[in-house]
Amino acid sequence: MQNFCTVLRRATAIALLTLVSLSNGLVSPASAGEEEVNIYSYREPGLIDPLLAAFTEKTGINTNVVFAKNGLVERLAAEARNSPADVLLTNEFGLLTQAVKAGATQPVRSSVIDKAIPESLRDPNGHWFGLTRRARVVYASKDRVDQDSITYEELADPKWRAKICTRSGQHTYNVALVASMIAHHGKEEAEKWLEGLKANLARKPAGGDRDSVRDVKAGLCDLAIGNTYYMAAMLKNPDQKEWADAVRIIFPNANGRGTHVNISGMALTANSPNKDNALKLMEFLVSSKAQEIYAQANGEYPVVPGVPASELVASWGTLKADALPLEKIAELRKQASELVDNVQFDQGPNF
């Protein structure tokens, strides 16, 4: 009896969670006879609305979106078979691997998607796919930095002592970067590099990528580590445009293995109730038209070869992307996070 009551309480809680979503208008059921697809999205509505409008115009399938900055993977796991969600859209790669580990995704076999997206930017088992790329670059002060090239390895050079700003080493963007260093140099060398980078910090890691660029503008540091799309975001923001104008983007390792890239991406949920429509949406998102819309809206790079970047993104220079498969980075994320803790990176430099 006790086990039955426990199961009943859990089922009731999940049902109530779904009903709350519906009553809040986050996922509204289509009218009788209408086709629909339900989306859980970490990407802000303004960034995906143009895409979804184009999809509905082409297919007649309505899209319903739940947007949240956090917790959607956990929500999918809690809802389990009662989840209304069909597709998960993420703003970065770590959430995709988290969703897979939580059992919240299922594999997709689509010749359309596999043909469009390079192998290095999709899960070999079909659980996730990249949609846009962003590079982890160096924002250099226009006034105080003369050089036009740099490597990630050079960020540990003592010549940059007290001149680098970045966000927390445990943030998923930096964990992925550290994982790439492990992949290329091994764990021991990557730890030495991380210690050198820590010694070169101008302050404790804090804030976001834009805050680091702000501190370059203020003269607190000469270099900031950040994702490329933040340049587009700052240029659009009247309060942040002067930060963007104070720096230029340098693509690390452009003359060697290439610059580390991360992705926004998509996955088919484990219990998709509208699986056919979900697949249609996923295939649409890798079409040339959708890739142009998405990359333009986000200030990011398309994942489909041959689709051009926006004029603004192209103006930053040529991106030579590191060819390291993201699946390899996924395997090394745990080690990377442990290294960040081992060197006490987030405590900042020892002045």
Give residue-wise pLDDT tens across range 200-213: 999 999 999 999 99
Please determine, for residue 181, whether its predicted confidence score (pLDDT) is greater than 80. yes
| Alpha carbon distance 112, 117 (integer Å) | 9
| Alpha carbon distance 97, 333 (integer Å) | 10
| Alpha carbon distance 270, 108 (integer Å) | 10
Element (H, E) at 315: none
Sorted by where each starts, the structural domains of the chain and their CATH numbers stand as 2-132+265-309 (3.40.190.10), 135-260+321-347 (3.40.190.10)
Give residue-wise pLDDT tens across range 278-303: 999 999 999 999 999 988 888 999 99
Position 104 scores a pLDDT of 98
Position 296 scores a pLDDT of 85
| Alpha carbon distance 196, 201 (integer Å) | 9
Count of beta carbons in the 10 Å neighbourhood of residue 347: 12
Tokens matching residue 3 = 């086990």
At position 152, the amino acid (one-letter code) is Y
Residue % of the chain over a pLDDT of 90: 85
| Alpha carbon distance 331, 54 (integer Å) | 36
Element (H, E) at 220: none
Q: How far is CA 48 from the centre of its chain?
A: 14
The alpha carbon torsion through 63, 77, 122, 301 (nearest 10 deg) reads 50
| Alpha carbon distance 65, 123 (integer Å) | 24
Tell me 56's DSSP state.
H
Give residue-wise pLDDT tens across range 41-57: 999 888 899 999 999 99
Please determine, for residue 8, whether its predicted confidence score (pLDDT) is greater than 60. no
pLDDT class of 14 with cuts at 50, 70, 90: very low
pLDDT class of 249 with cuts at 50, 70, 90: very high
Q: How far is CA 330 from the centre of its chain?
A: 13
Q: How far is CA 154 from CA 7, 48, 112, 317, in A?
A: 56, 37, 41, 20
Is 198:345 a contact under the CB 8 Å cutoff? yes
Please determine, for residue 111, whether its predicted confidence score (pLDDT) is greater than 70. yes
Position 109 scores a pLDDT of 93
Residue-wise over 2-29: b if at least 16 C-beta within 10 A, else e? eeeeeeeeeeeebeeebeebeeeebbbe
Q: How far is CA 16 from the centre of its chain?
A: 30
Count of beta carbons in the 10 Å neighbourhood of residue 301: 23
Beta strands in the chain (DSSP E): 36-41, 62-67, 87-90, 105-106, 129-141, 164-165, 223-227, 247-250, 261-269, 301-302
Is 119:325 a contact under the CB 8 Å cutoff? yes
